[in-house]
Amino acid sequence: MRAITIILFVLVGLLTNCHSKNKETKDKTDQKMELSAKNSFERIDDKNASGTSLIKHRESTNIDAPIGDFLSRIWNLYDKPNGVSYEGFQYTFKDVNTGLVFTAYSAGSGPAYGGDSNIEDKLLPIIIKFDNMLTESKNADCEISIQTDFGTLITGSKNGVPFDKLIEDN
């Protein structure tokens, strides 16, 4: 009986150790894929985005905090936005392979992507690739305040959980 207990103990230890190593390998693979995708897009100065139009709204899986989810995923990869404007924020990116410029922003209509409407057909696959990268990334702890018609929106993420809190003006 004691021999069976020892064998079971050894097997459990081996399985746990293998699972732990598989998790470490998966985490490292995920980090490499995230870095590879991140390197496909260069953050550039917002002045290079003049004249961009809506190309695609972001379809967030976080219905309770779509703005905080969007912001914190971008923040995780590219740091804070350069500034916050009325009803939103903006990041500007260049696809390193094509040199095409697009924006990731949130405005009155929520999280979206923009670019030159004359080349929308070329930008859409790039934006989809960027959006897929964001979906696979993690939420950074962050917070910004945005003035809106309805009050102040406090948005971001804490402990990996996105939030959007509206503080109504009295």
Encode pLDDT of 85-110 as tens digits. 999 999 999 999 999 999 999 998 89
Residue 24 has pLDDT above 70, yes or no: no
Q: What is the pTM of this model?
A: 0.78
Mean pLDDT of 133-152: 95
Give the count of alpha carbons within 13 A of 82, CB side only. Answer: 13
Distance separating alpha carbons of residues 21 and 25, to the nearest angstrom: 6
Tell whether the torsion through CA atoms of 89, 120, 42 and 136 is positive or negative.
positive
Mean pLDDT of 156-163: 97
Please report the pLDDT score of residue 170 as a whole number: 62
Residue 17 has pLDDT above 70, yes or no: no
Question: What are the CA-CA distances from residue 45 to residues 13, 24, 33, 51, 82 (Å)?
Answer: 52, 36, 25, 14, 8
Give the Cβ contact number of residue 130 at 10 Å.
Answer: 23
Give the Cβ contact number of residue 124 at 10 Å.
Answer: 15
Mean pLDDT of 6-14: 38
